[in-house]
Structure 1
Amino acid sequence: MTMQKEDADTVSALRALESGSSSVRLRAALAVGTSPDPRCVDKLVERCAVEPEFSVREMLTWALTRHSSAMTVPRLVGELRSEGAQARSQALHTLSKIGDRQAWPAITRELLTDADDEVARSAWRAAVVLVPEDDAPELARVLATQLGRGGRETQLSLSRALIALGELIVPVLRDAMTGPDPLVRRHASATERLLHDPDAGFEFAVEEAKRVAVLGVSGQEDT
């Protein structure tokens, strides 16, 4: 009888994940994560690809982290080849939360330079969590190719990812600061400043980078 009830609860939760009500979907994802069931993994991953509500997607990710990585990681890695941007982005986000480095080979250069900003940002966050130490310098070089990309949030995400790699990013940032693109130079300079002064704030670091570009000397006072 207990087994039958558990089966009924699982079926009910899986149906509720497709409810028209976001609050019902949220509760269903919470229920699945609270009582993990391997039979729910496929549905959780599928729902991540189409779920419109951010809070529900976060709960779906949490529910997936409650299941065995041996089951979730291969399924999520498969999603990285999806044509849907949300499927790729949410799979990357979930992989970063699971933290299983077996997923590292799936974090390709194509994902790190994906044309969709949300996918790229998720790839950057996942990469710095999953990268083995020996591969970190090459990751830094790939991430540096994205300097100057997008608006404030995208640039801040990239800066945070680079900073997470530590001092090894300094040479690639210095190289970027000598390049021809002023946006790249400014972003690289702001990132280096944040590396050494995390409390400076991104906006301040960008403004300082602009000032240095004009004056040519860091810290020189306006006259």
Structure 2
Amino acid sequence: MLIGEVARRSGVSARMLRHYDTLGLVRPTGRTVGGYREYSADDIRRIFHVESLRSLGLSLRQVARALEDPAFTPSDLVRDLVRVTEERLARERELLDRLRVIDASAPAGWQDVLRVVELMQGLGSASAARRQQAVLSRPDDVPPPADLLAGAVLAETDPHVAGALRWALARSEGAGAAALAAGARSPDVEVRRRAVPALAALPDAPGVVDVLLGALADPDATVRRHAALALGGRGVAEAVPTLVGMVVEGVHDVAAAEVLGALSRDPDRVGPILTALVAELDGPTAVRLRVVQALVELPGPAASRVLRDLAHDDDRAVALVASAFVEVLEDRGDGAG
């Protein structure tokens, strides 16, 4: 079979067949009287073998060894090809993600594209200072792509850079909430710990409260506490048990007490919150002191009466702190009743 016919039947160009011949990879068995290459059935089978191995990513040199060298086993080579292919796919996925970010930013011109690329490069820097600068140096009239910021905050390990990213997201009017919500459901606890505070910093985007309510049941205490502070700040009563627990445990207890105080400004909530705090007064001195400090945040005469009773407590430390707080309440006019 002449080269033109082989090219048509095999799908390998005549030019490539000549290249195979030059390399000694597939040499035609015969020649016609006129000197044209003439391929046998075995030659054509070898062509298909070459193409099959090339389809796996082997170089022509590797193909030649695989076909000629019996000692050239596939195991190590295939493992190398797997590694190289995974690396290439990772690079292409990264490129695809970048292109999607640029597309989502709806660039009006190439200058917009360059701004997004510059931000991506800054956020990808190994330097925390450069990552932070990339966020803070954006012009006020050029909002950064929110999904890019959301992805960055979910991966950020430096607390200062994370704070800058949350600040930038908070200015995006709820954009990026979907990406953060997905992060709040991640199997990776570190991602959830970053997602929930970022969601808390967002304006009231649709669905944020529902995601935070789900985070109240998170197996990780840190995630639950972030969610409770955020929900309490939004006036959601379901956060109360976790907030009381934070007071008892001494973890962000001052912030938790302030949020409980804000929630207690609703007359329907002050009673249950007071009851929950008083129930913890049977604990050790350190816990009781934190409860006393939380009680002073609660408005109304009922909390004041509890503090007055505690001013005469058998535990001297508790009595002294409660007495001091009673004086504070009387000075500001909250101690009546």
TM-score (norm 1): 0.71
Greater per-residue helix proportion: 1
1-structure distance, mates of 2:295, 2:258:
11
CA contact under 8 A between 1:125 and 1:161: conserved in structure 2? yes
Match of 2:253 among 155, 163, 166: 155
Aligned length: 200
Q: Which amino acid aligns with 1:75?
A: A
Equivalent of 2:262 in 164, 171, 174: 164
Q: Any stretches of 5+ residues in structure 2 without a counterpart? A: 1-106, 301-309, 325-337
Counting aligned pairs with the same residue, the percent is: 21
TM value normalised by structure 2? 0.50
Quote the offset at 1:42 in angstroms. 2.6
CA contact (8 A) 1:45 1:75 kept: yes
Gaps in structure 1 of 5+ consecutive residues: 198-208
Q: 1:128 to 1:22 in 2, by over 3 A?
A: same
Q: How does 1:7-46 map to 2 (within 5 A)?
A: 7-32=113-138, 34=140, 35-37=142-144, 40-46=145-151
1:26 to partner: Cα distance: 1.1
Indicate the residue corresponding to 2:168 in structure 1: 63
**Rg larger for:** 2
**Cα distance in 2 for residues equivalent to 1:112 and 1:181:** 26
Q: How has the CA–CA distance of structure 1 residues 78 and 44 changed in structure 2, closer, same or farther, with 3 Å as cutoff?
A: same
Distance in 2, Cα, partners of 1:33 & 1:93: 25
Select which of 175, 178, 182 maps to 2:283. 182
Q: CA RMSD, aligned part only?
A: 3.4
Compared CA separation, residues 101 and 145, structure 1 to 2 (3 A): farther
Larger RCO (CA within 8 A; separation ≥ 6): 1
> CA 1:114/1:99 → structure 2, altered by over 3 Å: closer, same or farther?
farther
- CA displacement at 1:66 relative to structure 2: 2.6
Output aligned runs, 1:1-223, within 5 Å: 3-32=109-138, 34=140, 35-37=142-144, 40-69=145-174, 71-100=175-204, 102=206, 103-108=208-213, 110-111=215-216, 115-117=220-222, 119-131=223-235, 135-136=236-237, 138-149=238-249, 151=250, 153-167=251-265, 168-179=269-280, 181-183=282-284, 185-195=288-298, 212=313, 214=315, 219=323
The one-letter code sitting in structure 2 at the alignment partner of 1:193 is V
Bigger drift between 41-50 and 85-94 goes to: 85-94
**1:65/1:97 contact within 8 Å kept:** yes
